[in-house]
Amino acid sequence: MADNARAKRLADLIREVVAQKLQRGIKDPRLGSHVTITDTRVTGDLREATVFYTVYGDDEERAAAAAGLQSAKGVLRSAVGAAAGVKFTPSLTFVADALPDTAKTIEDLLDKARAKDAEVREVSAGATFAGDADPYRKPEDDEDDTSDESDGSEQKDGDAAK
């Protein structure tokens, strides 16, 4: 088992080498400038590497890029082996990153929330308070209430005496 720092360094190196090779070394038209390497993870034994990528375009272009990466896997692994200088070059697995889809879902939810907020603002624009505008008691209100209560209690006592 390698330590995590070594696996992280190797993952960073793999990400850089694969990105550079895709940009400059592979002449596959399916890969073009549409593919972006987002992340790379290496297992603890440094035998397998998972490369996450995104593709700018529609589903057809994503499928073409996945096929292009599968066909270029050997060339990319050779480039990684030459750059890394490790005893065993990790096998590469390419996985489409779900980050853009997740970001789109979050954006859609935020748009719905903004629409609801605008709707609530529109409904409450002409609304007034159900009670007083200032529902809190003030010290002068308390004095008025105590004098009213004392007047009412005297009458009740006088009514009871009759």
* Domain annotation covers residue 107: no
Q: What is the pLDDT of residue 31?
A: 78
Mean pLDDT of 107-120: 93
* Domain annotation covers residue 113: no
Between vectors from CA 66 to CA 74 and to CA 47, what angle results, nearest 5°? 45
Strand order in the sheet with 35-42: 35-42, 48-55, 91-96
Enclosing domain of residue 90: 2-98
Residues paired with residue 35 on neighbouring β-strands, in sequence order: 55
Q: What is the pLDDT of residue 109?
A: 94
* Domain annotation covers residue 10: yes
Are 92 and 72 within 8 A, CB to CB? Answer: no
Give this prediction's pTM: 0.64
Q: What is the pLDDT of residue 146?
A: 62
- B/e letters for 114-137, b = 16+ CB within 10 Å, e = fewer, are eeeeeeeeeeeeeeeeeeeeeeee
* Domain annotation covers residue 23: yes
36 or 33, greater pLDDT: 36
Q: State the Cα–Cα distance between residues 28 and 61, nearest whole angstrom.
A: 13
CATH value at residue 60: 3.30.300.20
Q: What is the pLDDT of residue 2?
A: 57
Number of domains composing the chain: 1
* Domain annotation covers residue 82: yes
